[in-house]
Amino acid sequence: MADTTLTEGAAGAPARKPFPLAGVAVPLLALALLAYPFVFRLPFQHNLMILVFLYASLGQAWNILGGYAGQSSLGHAAFFGVGAYASSLLLVKFGIVPWVGMLAGGLVAVALSLLIGYPSFRLKGHYFVIATIVLAEIIYILFTNWPFAGGAEGLFLPLLPEGVVNFEFHSSKIPYYYIIFAILAVVTTVVFFVERSKLGFYFRAIREDPDAARSLGIDITRYKLIAMALSAFFTGVCGTFYAQFVLFIEPNNSLNFMLSVLIMLIPVFGGSGTLWGPILGAFILIPLSEFTRVYLSGAGRAIDLTLYGLLIMLVAIFEPRGLWAVVTRFRSRETLKWRFWKSQV
């Protein structure tokens, strides 16, 4: 109980911080990505990275709920879709700028998530997943049959003069690139802080053992709802971005089940419950799917899903915690060697 041991413990920890390269690698990577559109100038190259960032953001948003809080959702397309529809309807029907629509989209997604979350968090394990699938499917059907929202034909957004205010860019995709890059940076920063805060500790505790978490005073339903709301908000924001990017939404491009699957696969593949996992996942899976689609044209769609399946199986067999765990394993082996070496001198 001596104070010395306490202070020793407190001082001993920073040396073991999980990202010793954070101060160097992350800024370098960020700079490289900021320069990317001017190094790679083809629209196709811009498109590719916009999709990577979009899915990384979506994966990161899913990660808050599915990775940290351990509540796997297979219905995130619903939040994406209502985000896309909210801003689009506000724009088309009421002429409200998409930036306001984006906030509205995020908030509508939050409202929906609380509506879904409250009853379904009483369900355990697989039942929660099934509930999210069913509810997303209901949303899909509702929008398909809602004439005001364009029904199954969908909704074209009006072509407006390009510019930041209108959130439309026609001559170049580069502005979209920076916008989605900023969104990814914001979500990742939020996750970074959540991970280190009381919220993050509580999320993980709930994931690891809900009964133990409750015995330590955690109102688990409340914290699951917070995780769900955060997750849904950013997913909804991504939905608005997507609507502005393609300027056309329909249930099949923004509410479909495969989208939900992809939003989950990316962080699970890259490493759910880790800060870098979803980003790593998107950087590998999205280019892979785009390239197979380009080179194998029509058959690509089926092939990339098959490839995904295969990769996921490999990860599940060799490192169920995802690819990022492989990276950290190598790194910790290095630190071990380093410590050993240090202890010898």
Partner 1 sequence: MALLEVTGLTKNFGGLAANQDITLSVEDGTIVGLIGPNGAGKTTLFNTIAGLYAPDAGRVVFAGADITGWPPERVCRAGIGRTFQITKSFRQMTVLENVMVGAFLHTFSPRQARQAALAAIEKTGLLSRKDMLAGNLTVADRKRLEVARALATRPRMLMLDEAMAGLNPKERQEAVELILFLAREGTTILLVEHVMEVVMPISHRLVVLDYGKQIAEGKPEAIARDERVIKAYLGERYRAPG
Q: Minimum distance from CB of 74 to partner 1 (Å)? A: 22
Is residue 21 near partner 1 by the rule CB under 8 A? no
Residue with smaller CB distance to partner 1, 181 or 202: 202
Judged by CB under 8 A, which of 115, 219, 291, 302 binds partner 1? 219
Stretch of 7-15, 22-30, 80-88, 118-126 contacting partner 1, by CB under 8 A? 7-15
- How many of the chain's residues bind partner 1 (CB under 8 A)? 27
**Measured from the CB atom, is 41 or 196 closer to partner 1?**
196
* CA dihedral over 161, 164, 167, 170, signed as positive or negative: positive
Q: Does 4 sit near partner 1 (CB under 8 A)? A: no
Stretch that binds partner 1, among 111-119, 167-175, 215-223, 304-312 (CB under 8 A): 215-223
In 3D space, the residue among 65, 63, 125 whose CA is nearest the CA of residue 324 turns out to be: 63
**For residues 254-293, which are near partner 1 according to CB under 8 A?**
273
CB of 9 to partner 1, least distance (A): 5
Which position among 44, 209, 299, 336 is part of the footprint of partner 1 (CB under 8 A)?
209
Q: Among 158-166, 209-217, 224-232, 251-259, which window interacts with partner 1 (CB under 8 A)?
A: 209-217
Q: Give the β-pairing of 155-156 and 248-249.
A: antiparallel
Quote the Cα angle for 43-44-45, to 5°: 90
The first and second tokens of residue 203, run together, are: 């999320």
- Is residue 196 part of the contact set for partner 1 (CB under 8 A)? yes
| Angle of the 257-270 helix axis to the 323-344 helix axis, nearest 10 | 10
> Is residue 218 a contact residue for partner 1 (CB under 8 A)?
yes
Judged by CB under 8 A, which of 143, 202, 233, 283 binds partner 1? 202
Crossing angle of helices 300-318 and 277-296, in 10° steps, is: 150
Based on the number of CB atoms within 10 Å of its own CB, is 66 exposed (0-12), middle (13-18) or buried (19 or more)?
buried
Residue (of 132, 139, 136, 140) closest to 72 by Cα position: 132
**Closest separation between CB of residue 101 and partner 1, Å?**
33
Residues of this chain that interact with partner 1 (CB under 8 A) are 1, 5-6, 9-10, 13, 16, 196-198, 201-202, 204-205, 208-209, 211-220, 273
